[in-house]
Structures are given as C-alpha cells and as structure tokens.
Structure 1
Amino acid sequence: MTDTQSLHAARRAYIAPINRVVDHMTGVQNFGGGRYACGRFTGKPGNEVHEAWTHMFAEWLPQSGYQPDNKPALELYEEDFVMDPKTGNFSCWLCVPVKTL
C-alpha cells in the first residue's frame, strides 16, 4: 500500500466506540486537518503497540524528511475492528501528524 493509499484508508477509519466510559471522561474532540503519516499495526495491545509507536517516532520519523506537527497522534480503528480471541492480536492505523522539515 502506498503512503497516499494509507492516508486515504485512515480517513475512512474511525475511532472505535468504548463499551464502558466513565461519565466525567466523555467528551467531544475536534481534530483539525493536516498531513498524517499512517502505518498499519497488527499485534497485541500493551508492549507491542507501544513498540510500534516508538518505532514510528524514534526510527521512521527522523529519516522520513518530515517532523512532527503540533497535533495529537491518533490510533484509528476501522469499522470492522476485531480482536482475535485466540491470539489477542488486533489491527489499527497508527497516525503521526507531520509537516515537512
């Protein structure tokens, strides 16, 4: 998948609903537009997804020709999100806001 295809796919994704939300934590957040570098993650929650984020910021970003933009990084879950009950694996898009150097 090309970078452009990844960005288009991420635009079609959405943030997964949370089944249990504490009332005082519920809110609406607007995310402005801009350029995001998105990579597909498949693995387990916890250390594996943390390592993928670390790779995006510490290894990919410095050699990419981009720098981080001052916007939130996003984890996007597609409409058909599932976690494999046997392995605990799931997939999502890790999206880093970027701007040119």
Structure 2
Amino acid sequence: MSENVKTEDLSYWLNNSIAEEHIKYYEYSNFTNIQQIGKGLYGNVVRVYCKNSDHFFTLKSFNNHEQTIKEVEKELKLLRSIDDHENIIRLYGVTKVEGGY
C-alpha cells in the first residue's frame, strides 16, 4: 500500500485481512499478567501471557487509530521483507482493546 492510501482504506484492509485469516486475531481477554516494559510518545509496549498458547507475547499499542493502522501496515511491509532471518521479532497477529486495534 502507498503513502497516499486513506486511513479508512487501511482499516478496511486490516479488517478484511483478519476476516480472511491472513492476519491472526487474538481476543484481548486471553492475555493475562500484563506488565509494561516500555512507553513512548506514540504508545506503549507490554509483556503478556497468552492463556490459549501457553506463551509470552509482547503487545505494542498506539495512541490513536490512524497511527495504529499506518504502523501495522509499515511493520507488515518490513517483516515481509526480512521475515526469513532468525533474529527478527515475528508478528503473530493483532488484538483489539478499547474499541481500536
């Protein structure tokens, strides 16, 4: 997707990708033991335990919906280009809290 794509189009793309199971969706209620590990100008990073997978995950949240959609797109592009390297953090999916992604 290009820089000129509207946020509504990106939001539709993300929701459609979840519906078609190209991107895995995790219920936020399945995460426990939430511990903040970082905070910045744009959002927060927390460490969580996922009850359904018996693993720990890192969740990155953003302060506004428009930024969230653009950051998801940016990270997916980056991960797609370098996904085969063993030291790269993997995107396992998305979750929704407080009415946004």
TM-score (norm 1): 0.28
TM-score (norm 2): 0.28
- Higher RCO, 1 vs 2 (CA within 8 Å, ≥6 residues apart): 1
